[in-house]
Amino acid sequence: MHRPGDAPHPHAQSVVAFGEALVDQSRDRTVLGGAPFNVACHLGALGAHPVLMTRAGKDAPGEQLQQAMRERGLDRRGLQRDPARPTGRVKVTETAAGPVFDILSDQAYDHIHAGLARMVGLLVHPAMVYFGTLAQRGESRRALRELLGAVDSRVFLDLNLTDPWVDADTLRWSLRQASVAKLNEAELTRLGHLLALDGATPEARAGVLVSDFGLERVVVTRGAAGAWTLDAAGRIESVPGQALPNLVDRTGAGDGFAAIFILGTLRGWPLADRLTRADAFARALCQIRGAVPAAQDFYTPFIRDWQR
């Protein structure tokens, strides 16, 4: 069930980040990744209480994930270990248009145990559940349904339209569970075709999306051009963005945006601040290598500025 309205949860800043934790393998390095992992890392570094709910293999990358969570002080109750399947892997190729991801199938995160997911949800009692669509391509779909059925939380859907793992029925179901749906402009256009959404403009399509699926709001990111959001009353709030003078790596920028928008929702920031701060954080991530900074120092100026 999702909680209506944009008011902060009265009890906690706990977030269950459900889905894939994996290893990105590029030409010159191997790093931990996956949107739920990235979101959990950012939220933990900024003082919230994320619980990453995922499944990793009993292999070296799985040990690396567990160690990284331990070092970052993340709650590990949602981490399951699979004795038969490997920790998720993605082969990353850098191109002029950005990174291209080859996402391998039948990985440990495709088999999150439903009963354990439900139990952790009941223990954590999260204010927010964050999930995407990639981890619903296998048995983990049942685990997500068990989790959402066990908790009374806001739901943040971060759409991931990555071929060949795009399924219209899964998209419809996911949107029906969501309080807030986040996607980029290209995904909004594609979603319009997949779900036969009316609307000649992005704003019109977003309005139909909100209306058809009972969403509180849709959040649309535009890269360096900023972001905007449309709510159930048709109100639009936007941030214009800025040029990136030192673009290094776009990987994970959208995950960073999602984490800060979630944090601002839990802390009751005004909507304009949520958008502005999420956009600024995403732009800062684009100026470092990797989706998650290695050092806590990266977060310090944001923590300082947001406490003013």
Please provide the DSSP assignment of 221-234 as one string: E-GGG-EEEEETT-
Its pTM stands at 0.92
Q: Is residue 211 part of a domain?
A: yes
Q: Is residue 53 part of a domain?
A: yes
Question: Could you list the mean pLDDT of each consecutive 10-residue stretch along the chain, which spans 308 residues?
Answer: 42 88 82 95 96 97 96 96 95 76 91 98 96 94 98 95 90 98 96 91 96 97 95 96 82 94 96 96 91 92 88
H helix runs in the chain, sequence order:
35-45, 60-71, 114-124, 140-150, 168-177, 185-194, 202-213, 253-267, 271-285, 300-306
- Name the pairing type of β-strands 14-18 and 49-57: parallel
Q: What are phi and psi of 197, to 5 degrees?
A: -80, 130
- Return the SS3 of 62: helix
pLDDT at 20: 96
Q: Is residue 8 part of a domain?
A: no
pLDDT at 10: 38
Q: Is residue 276 part of a domain?
A: yes
Q: Domain limits at 48?
A: 14-306
Q: Residue 55 maps to which CATH number? A: 3.40.1190.20
- Name the pairing type of β-strands 154-158 and 128-131: parallel
pLDDT at 9: 40
Q: Is residue 4 part of a domain?
A: no
pLDDT at 7: 41
Other Cβ atoms closer than 10 A to 192: 18
Q: Is residue 149 part of a domain?
A: yes
Q: Is residue 7 part of a domain?
A: no
Q: Is residue 86 part of a domain?
A: yes
Domain total of the chain = 1
Other Cβ atoms closer than 10 A to 243: 8
